[in-house]
Chains A and B, each alone.
Chain A
């Protein structure tokens, strides 16, 4: 055990934590909107709309995140036309490619979580709203969404933790997040255990915070 390495690698990994957290929060932010959008599509009675949303979640949940990142980072750059559009400004940056891939991925899982939450809402609640003469939009935003959020908190907490682990894949497209820096230190010092302990503890600490935050929210929004 090399204590000195643990101490010297800690600040390096800590500054990389910022990259991880940025990736995580950005992809969760976009993923939540994507998830909500596709969950609403899933509830649509139109077969085509429904099928499209199902296909999206099936493809993104059925393939590894690594493939998704590689398709977006290495694959899309190959299309000549894309290089001429303004999209190229975004797609040439590995940072944004990672965020796009992560958002699409977490969006697929979130849409499933939200869909099942919407489906468990008792029809009586919506009928009560309708009989009070509330319009559809109002019922959706003020009744269905808050209940769905409450219902899906535990599952969404898991998804946040899965996504936190997913951000480690950003290191495969040259980004220096916690795992990227850890790999760099390991390959220069050949001391995997010490680096693993430090990097692992940072990840576990974030997991711990997320876990407690979700627990707190669950308690706060429990039915009285």
Chain B
């Protein structure tokens, strides 16, 4: 118990901060994922074959390649790519992107591929009549999307998005390879300096379980909220 006490002797406060870091990375990654989904879902549903192809390439590659490999790509290649772009604009200094951004972006790209599939499925399972009705009523494009399609889509998407969230949350553990101090990395450090890996990794597992449990509770509430009237 002393090992996880707060203060100088224990790792409690460090692990607490690390847990917050995990949550922060997961939320950032999920939001970046939504951004990607926002771009690629319309491409998937587009009637132009070439746009479909681009979106399919993204979702297939990202979902078919191990997360760790994607993280390595961004970890080792991220600053190189940014420096390359910066050089075009005449900036020649060394640029280092921090571990948080590298992690959040790489996990975000992965989570985006899953979100894209979820949104595509949700939009496709909305009754065709809804689109036609909007058309007939002559609704403005943005009212039509935000007031009619979006609420229906969210109700259908939330159960699957909760799966995406779970995947994203668990994927954040992989960012520890880049040295970002989240739960896994902190446990690794603690296990190394106390020589008690069994305890710290089990504790890390417990923290993750707690996070998944709490987010399930939260999502269930959200789900109820969005399926009012059904």
**Chain A interface residues toward B at CB < 8 A:** 58-59, 62-68, 70-71, 74-79, 161, 164-169, 171-172, 178-179, 182-183, 186-187, 190, 192-193, 196, 199-200, 203-204, 207-208
Indicate the size class of the contact surface on chain B.
35 or more
Question: Which listed residue (B69, B170, B184, B204) contacts A203, Cβ 8 A?
Answer: B69
**CB within 8 Å of A: which of B57-104?**
60-61, 63-69, 72-73, 75-77, 80
Q: How far is the CB of A221 from chain B (nearest CB, A)?
A: 25
Which of chain B's residues has its CB closest to A202's CB?
Answer: B65
Q: How far is the CB of A217 from chain B (nearest CB, A)?
A: 19
Can you report 26 residue pairs joining A to B where beta carbons are below 8 Å apart?
A63-B209, A63-B212, A66-B173, A70-B204, A71-B201, A71-B202, A74-B191, A74-B198, A75-B199, A75-B201, A77-B197, A78-B195, A168-B66, A168-B69, A179-B66, A179-B72, A182-B72, A186-B76, A192-B77, A199-B69, A203-B64, A203-B65, A204-B60, A204-B61, A204-B65, A208-B64
Q: How far is the CA of A172 from the CA of B61 in the complex (A)?
A: 22
Contact between chains at A70 and B201 (CB < 8 Å): yes
Contact between chains at B198 and A64 (CB < 8 Å): no
Contact between chains at B196 and A78 (CB < 8 Å): yes
Which of chain B's residues has its CB closest to A167's CB?
Answer: B66
List the B side residues contacting A70 at CB < 8 Å.
Answer: 184, 187-188, 197, 201, 204
Determine whether B115 belongs to the interface, using a CB cutoff of 8 Å to chain A. Answer: no
Which of chain A's residues has its CB closest to B169's CB?
Answer: A64
Contact between chains at A171 and B68 (CB < 8 Å): yes
Q: In the complex, given contacts A71-B201, A196-B77, what are 12 additional A-B residue pairs having Cβ atoms less than 8 angstroms apart?
A: A62-B208, A64-B174, A67-B205, A68-B205, A70-B201, A75-B201, A78-B195, A172-B177, A183-B72, A187-B76, A203-B66, A208-B64
